Amino acid sequence: MTKITRADFEKYEMGIYVPAPILPVSGKGSRFYDDAGRDYIDFAGGIAVNVMGHCHPEIVKALTEQANKLWHISNYLCTEPAIKLAKYLVENTFADKVFFANSGGEANEASLKLARRYAYEKFGSEKSQIISFQNSFHGRTLFDVTVGGQAKYREGFGPLPGDIVHLEFNNLEALKETISDKTCAVILEPIQGEGGIIPATKEFLTAVRELCNKHNALLIYDEVQTGFGRTGYLYAYQMYGVEPDILTSAKGLGAGIPIAAMMARDEVAKTFKPGVHGTTFGANPLATAVGCRSFELVNTPETLNGVKEKELKFKANYAALNNKYHCFKDIRGVGLLIGADLKDEYADKLKEITAECLNQGVFVITAGHSVIRNAPALNITDEEIAEGFARLDKVLAKFFG
Ligand SMILES: *Cc1c(COP(=O)(O)O)cnc(C)c1O
């Protein structure tokens, strides 16, 4: 067989992505390496996924140990790693019950189905309205893109699921005007990720909770990106002190293995009786065993406090770069979900800048249309942070020096 190269991508894979012109082959900590042996500092963390960096020895161990025991058995049977991970999640959150899926989009699809079914059984079929927010992102199933607040992701896929409205994020008046006893659920990201790293205000979340209570609407938090230690809290809602009825978690949960969880309070979870929903791969022992080890490493004071310290380092480094190059209008975010928002006059350079970052050996991603997004491993080291920013400095010097 001939050697696979980067150029084979276009030949064999669908053109849904436009991957950068390198071919990564291995990784360790917050560095990865391409097939030419060049190293890159990873400030993207596989889009907030690789919470413990690349190939963390403890996670490799959990994966290989489980790989030698039992990979998959189907949900006709239950397994110890899945029960254990569900127990961890229940014992450390508002939730009483967990459903496992394979991706964030699937977990959100399940949460929306759960909310609709709950309202249908308890209040009747009239209570079906779902309130969502502009610029939100909830995944790529048809229900998810319809609920998500970015029209471009649902264009041309109709007919779409109905009774879904999109309001301005953090706008309490708009919500007050729209929510009613026909509202079945309000879904939001406590910090909008793809939309540009936009945190909900505490006042907004508190008021959303009160309005949901008043109208018997369920509050769903999509914590696919903000969850699992990303903010320095196990889940971002714990920072706000405002609990949801349903919460979805994915990305970091498996530290790189595809897994997602949808959690709920008992009263809501009871709606998911046998046969109402399901999945072949969800809860499989390989993914949940990795999830367990990932949980044990993330949910420690060392990791979570470390995130808060590293947040300060990232923000200080960006502030120093901005003093030098005056290219950002805002540097924001919580924990290790940090956006550096380019000034309006530079927003059209975003793609060029991130491409040059990779050239200089630091991998960042984007959010919204003007934000450099950082979502590195929660255990990224001081040395990796310093080296990443030294490389970023060279990039910004090229554009703004
Ligand atoms: C990434 C993301 C999703 C989609 O997750 P997939 O695993 O890609 O299906 C949903 N919601 C939010 C907030 C996300 O960041």
pLDDT at 14 over 90: yes
**What mean pLDDT is reported for the chain?**
98
Rounded to the nearest whole angstrom, what is the distance from the C-alpha of residue 69 to the centroid of ligand 1?
30
Q: Is the pLDDT of residue 1 over 80?
A: no
Atom of ligand 1 nearest to the CA of 225: 15
Q: Do 309 and 268 have their domain in common?
A: no
Same domain, 97 and 150: yes
Cα 100 to averaged position of ligand 1 atoms, centre (Å): 15
pLDDT score for 399: 98
Pick the last residue of a domain from 279, 298, 317: 298
> Which residue type does 56 have?
H
The total number of structural domains that make up the chain: 2
Same domain, 290 and 232: yes
> 320-325 contacts: CB < 8 A, separation 24 or more?
321/389, 321/392, 321/393, 321/396, 324/393, 324/396, 325/396, 325/397, 325/399, 325/400, 325/401
Mean pLDDT of 230-246: 98
The verdict on residue 229 lying in a domain is: yes
Closest atom of ligand 1 to 105 CA is: 9
Domain match, 120 and 46 both: no
pLDDT per position as a tens digit, 106-157: 999 999 999 999 999 999 999 999 999 999 999 999 999 999 999 999 999 9
Those residues with Cβ within 8 angstroms of residue 139's Cβ, 6 or more apart along the chain or in another chain = 103, 104, 105, 106, 107, 108, 109, 145, 148, 224
- The CATH number covering residue 63 comes to 3.40.640.10
**Which residue's alpha carbon is nearest to atom 11 within ligand 1?**
138
Report residue 381's pLDDT band, with 50, 70 and 90 as the boundaries: very high
Position 258 confidence tier, pLDDT thresholds 50, 70, 90: very high
State whether 111 and 246 are in the same domain.
yes
Contacts made by residues 69-74, CB under 8 angstroms, sequence distance 24+: 69/285, 70/285, 70/286, 71/284, 71/285, 71/286, 72/281, 72/284, 72/285, 72/286, 73/284, 73/285, 74/280
User: Taking the alpha carbons of 264, 268, 273, 278 in that order, is the dihedral positive or negative?
Assistant: negative
69 and 120 belong to one structural domain = yes
Ligand 1 pocket member 103 (CB < 6 A): yes
Is 311 inside a domain boundary? Answer: yes
| Whether 139 and 287 share a structural domain | yes
Q: 255, 277, 298: which is the final residue of a domain?
A: 298
Atom of ligand 1 nearest to the CA of 139: 4
Q: For the segment 337-372, what is each residue's pLDDT rounded down to a tens digit?
A: 999 999 999 999 999 999 999 999 999 999 999 999
In a domain, 181, yes or no: yes
Has residue 283 got a pLDDT over 80?
A: yes
Domain of residue 19, CATH code: 3.90.1150.10
137 within domain boundaries: yes
Q: Is it the case that residue 2 has pLDDT exceeding 90?
A: no
Residue 36 belongs to what domain range?
A: 8-55+301-400
* In-domain check, residue 1: no
Q: Residue 92 domain-assigned?
A: yes
Alpha carbon distance 284, 63 (integer Å): 12
What's the CA-to-centroid distance between 103 and ligand 1, angstroms? 7
Judge if 109 and 139 occupy the same domain: yes
Strands (E), 294-350: 328-334, 337-342
pTM reported for the whole predicted model: 0.98
Domain assignment of residue 119, yes or no: yes
Q: How far is the CA of 138 from the centre of ligand 1 (A)?
A: 6
Cα–Cα distance, 111 to 101 (Å, whole number): 11
Reported as a single tens digit per residue, the pLDDT across 320-337 is 999 999 999 999 999 999
Question: Closest ligand 1 atom to the C-alpha of 223?
Answer: 13
Rounded to the nearest angstrom, the distance between the alpha carbon of 95 and the centre of ligand 1 is 20
Where is the domain boundary, 254, 270, 298? 298
* Whether residues 173 and 37 fall in one domain: no
Looking at the structure, tell me whether residues 387 and 305 fall in a common domain.
yes
